[in-house]
Structure formats: C-alpha cells, structure tokens
Amino acid sequence: MPSVDPLSSLLSGIRAEGSVVSHAVLTAPWVIGFADGAPLTMISVLRGGGTLMLHDGTEQVVGAGDTAIVSGTAPFRLADRSTTVHGSHAAYEISCFGAGAECGDQELGGIRWGACSEEATALIVGAYRASGHRHVRLLRALPPVLVIKEDAEVCAWLETAAVDAARSSAGSQALMDRLLDWALVCTLRNWFDRVGADAPSWYRGLADPVLAPALQAFHDRPAETWTVASLATRSGVSRALFAKRFTRLMGRPPLAYLTECRMDEAETLLTDTDLSIAQIGRSVGYADAFGFSAAFKRHRGLSPSTFRATAV
C-alpha cells in the first residue's frame, strides 16, 4: 500500500470545481468582489498585480508571480489598488458556486478571457468547494491569507497551460481544475517549508529525520497498536530520546498526538461515510465500538453517534 502523508490526506478533501478565471483583462481602475463563501480561494497573478482587501480590513499587495490563498468564507475584494474602491471603477463579482453561475464560460461577469494588453492584470482564480469534514483540519493550519512568490518559469508554464485549456472545448474545464489543484499543492508545500516553526506540528515532524519514519508509519497504518517503544524502533532511537524529541518538536507527547490524529480521522469518517461505529473504531485503532466510543466522547465531548447526527 503506498504511503499517504498528512498534507496529501488533508488536500484530498478539496477539489476545484469549475471556478476558473484565466487571462482576465483588467484595466485600472477595477475591483473584483469574491462572494462565494468558499472555504478556500486561490489567486495566481500571472501579470500585473493588485491589493487584496479582507473582510477584517487586512490588506495584502500581490504582484506578478504571487499566489495568494485566502481561507475562510467571509467575502473579500481584489482591486488594482485599495483607494480604487472609493472612486469610479469597473466592478466585477466572482460567485462561481451561486445559483446560475457560469464560471466555465469564456466570458465571466464582463471580464474577457485571453486578450492581450500591456496594462492587463492576468489572473487564475480557483474557489474551492469543501467536499467533506477533512477540509476543516486544513483550514485550521492556515492563516487568513498567505502569499507565496512563484518562480517565473512556473508562472509562464501555468499561463501557457491555462491558455491551452481555455482554447480547447473537450475536457478544458477538467484540465483547468486539475491545474488549480496542482498549483494549490505546490503553493501550500512551499508555504509550509518557508514558515518553519510556525508550520503545523505534523509538517515539522515529517521534516525531522528522527521523527519522520515513525510519523509516516503511523499515518500509513493508524489502526495498528502503536506504543512509544514501537514508534521509537521505527525511528531507530531509544524510547526516552524519541519521547523527548517528539514532545519538543510536536508540542505534545507521542500518544497524545496519536490519539488526536485518530479522533480527527474518526470525525471525517463519521461525517463523510456510512461506516458503522465499530468499523470506524477499528479503522482508527480501537478493538471494539465501546472502547472507541468512550475515547471519542472523552476527547470530543460527544458520543460518535451524537456527533454524526449533529454534524453539518
């Protein structure tokens, strides 16, 4: 069975679904409103630039080569500059998941695709629909907005691929969606690498040569009866050294981390599958439904059945 790292597991719950703007010709002054309520929005600036304005008043300048990821469902805006919103400007609205949305068309809200202009701000936008409980765990790891500078070669390749997809008819939307998924994974990996100590503990642990083998083994086989000693053996160090290093880097003891991961996975299975309580318990390392239910209620405050019934 192939290994599945935690980041891949988290990203598996989110997919681009037809929410794409490629080569939008935006001549200043302009303002784009994002009113999707999507939990995650990605904006890649291929040429030009602008200013992101979040719901809480935060502003973030983005330029050519920047990819911005905005998390949370609050509406926000992107303008050529922040002062533009107070004057006369061309206004556009991106609401690709709303009723009657036509985000796969060659024209979106009056924004033309694929035209050439020296003043153009060229964007690729992906608004990501949540497809399950797993996305919540990803959003907990992200700030309200993050911006990563991409290599010029990557931007040129992405722009070329976007143009080719937009010009094609058969399968063009599916191709663009997969391009956006690829760009999202690359951007998040780059961000996690750069934030260092501020990255989620599981990501820091996977970069540590001592902890990584044990963490990968656990995430590959969460149902196995893991102990601190067996995890230390996977890492090739003593139990005491492993426990000390794990607690220092991960911010909690090994078994506490294992339990939290199992509860996270159990929440996902309870909301996204029809598996029985006993089946879910076994898949996350509990021998029977009683033991799993007791552990879940102790850590989440609700029984598994109550959590499933009340989950939205």
Q: Could you write out the three-class secondary structure of 174-202?
A: HHHHHHHHHHHHHHHHHHHHHHHHHCCHH
pLDDT per residue over 144-192, tens digit each? Answer: 898 988 766 665 666 666 666 556 556 666 777 777 777 788 888 888 7
The reported pLDDT for the residue numbered 278 is: 95
> Is the predicted pLDDT of residue 39 greater than 60, yes or no?
yes
The reported pLDDT for the residue numbered 4 is: 60
Mean pLDDT of the chain, nearest integer:
80
What is the b/e burial string over 222-251, where b = at least 16 CB atoms within 10 angstroms of the residue's CB? Answer: beeebebeebbbbbebeeeebbebbeeebe
Q: Are 82 and 51 in contact (CB under 8 A)?
A: yes
> Is the predicted pLDDT of residue 21 greater than 60, yes or no?
no
Instruction: Give the DSSP H/E element, type plus range, for residue 276.
Output: none
pTM for the whole structure: 0.73
For residue 53, the cross-strand partners are 59, 77
For residue 94, the cross-strand partners are 34
pLDDT per residue over 191-231, tens digit each? Answer: 877 776 667 777 788 889 999 999 988 888 888 999 999 99
Pick from 24-38, 119-133, 161-175: least confident = 161-175
113 vs 51, more confident: 51
The reported pLDDT for the residue numbered 131 is: 61
The reported pLDDT for the residue numbered 231 is: 96
Percent of the chain at pLDDT above 70? Answer: 74
The reported pLDDT for the residue numbered 165 is: 59
pLDDT per residue over 68-102, tens digit each? Answer: 999 888 899 999 999 999 999 888 877 655 555 54
